[in-house]
Structure 1
Amino acid sequence: MADTSSFDYLLELSQRCRAQISGLPSARDKVVKSWSGVGFLVGGHYCVTAMDDIAEVLTEPAATRLPGVKNWVRGVANVRGRLLPLIDLTVFLGEVRTTEQRQRRVLVVEQGDIYIGLIVDDVFGMQHFSVDSYSRNTAASGHSLASYVQGSYLQNDRSWALFRPNQLINDSNFYTVAA
């Protein structure tokens, strides 16, 4: 290296790098666009919702029952000094609960003044889907979940219903909690 200048060394290094670049993918290669969301199970249906729709995921906290409410209102829980109404989404949809409490999770939805916890059967974490696997059709059609679903994604022969918490929050039946 003593015989070559710094510029010549950089030029040689650049040429060696370009010679090795043939094995790398190029920008012309097809890039698969993907969509990511939080996957969960409710009433035997695999669902996914946008990460922006969920403020956090919790284990099911202890709740104080409320008198005179429907059975799908589990009560309220104190979560970091805030009262979080807990709604059992499986029971709200008319399904029979089949999971143990230790497996259940709470999806916290916070939109404006709305702050609620939706109890689901299980949460699978982030799920990634090819945008090409999206379909407006859903396996939940004809089911009470269908009112809150907007299409589905297909992954490994499993259909994941695209759950929209906004549609649930805007449903007047959701606020009819008196027994």
Structure 2
Amino acid sequence: MRSPFDILEAYERRSLAHAVQLPERQFAQDLWRGVGYRVGKRHLVSDFREVVEIVPMPPITPVPGAQPWLLGVGNLRGNLFPVVDLKYFMEGERTVQQEGQRVLIMRQAGGDVALTIDELFGQRSFELDQDTGTGELASGRYAHFVDRAFHGDGRDWGVFSLSLLSRTPEFRQAAA
């Protein structure tokens, strides 16, 4: 009598014997990938490793005495996290809330943080030879967070460092 494990092992051997070998997928080493979004007039991208997930805007509970750029606390699958208006933090101007609004969830020491954005573009990939000067993308407060840019899809995309943002003392002190 054969055990269930033996039966499964036989299935595996037979299926592998008939499997069509697919070509190995190669990724270009000189390709940069990230999530594209817009904050104000700036088109930005952040590295995939810095974005935990992208979700619809959660219901928000305001936090009394917090900085004006901290919209409040959101709840996602039972986890509480601060919701930050990234445009207000960076430019001093509120993000216009709209139906279908998305937020980027980023990880920082002490827990995740949601960042509001004006528009989500999804995955963006750039060849390293598309690297261009940061120009206006790194002006004002953005200068600390944007140190490179790529040109693609007819526009310049500033690489916005969410890890630098999460380590900024002002960002970490949301109490007014």
Band of TM-score, shorter chain: 0.7 to 0.9
Pairing 1:110-129 to 2, within 5 Å after superposition = 110-129=107-126
Identical residues among aligned pairs (%): 30
Q: Note if 1:68 corresponds to 2:43.
A: no
Amino acid paired to 1:162 = V
Contact 1:57 1:107 in 2 (8 A): yes
Alignment partner of 1:82 out of 61, 67, 79: 79
* Structure 1 residues 125 and 156, CA gap change in structure 2 (3 angstroms): closer
Q: Note if 1:92 corresponds to 2:50.
A: no
**Structure 1, unaligned runs of 5 or more:** 1-30
Q: Which residue of 2 aligns with 1:160?
A: 157
Alignment partner of 1:48 out of 45, 48, 52: 45
Amino acid paired to 1:54 = V
Count, aligned residues: 149
Amino acid paired to 1:37 = G
Which secondary structure does the structure 1 equivalent of 2:149 belong to?
strand
Q: Distance in 1 between matches of 2:112 and 2:135?
A: 28
Shift of 1:63: 0.5
Pairing 1:8-23 to 2, within 5 Å after superposition = none
Alignment partner of 1:57 out of 50, 54, 59: 54
TM-score scaled to structure 2, two decimals? 0.77
Q: Note if 1:104 corresponds to 2:105.
A: no
Q: Which residue of 1 aligns with 2:14?
A: none
Amino acid paired to 1:151 = R
Amino acid paired to 2:174 = V
Amino acid paired to 1:62 = P
State the structure with more CA Rg.
1
Between stretches 82-91 and 169-178, larger displacement belongs to 169-178
TM-score scaled to structure 1, two decimals? 0.76
**Structure 2, unaligned runs of 5 or more:** 1-27
Q: Distance in 2 between matches of 1:43 and 1:80?
A: 29
Q: Distance in 2 between matches of 1:113 and 1:154?
A: 35
Which secondary structure does the structure 1 equivalent of 2:67 belong to?
coil
Which secondary structure does the structure 1 equivalent of 2:115 belong to?
strand
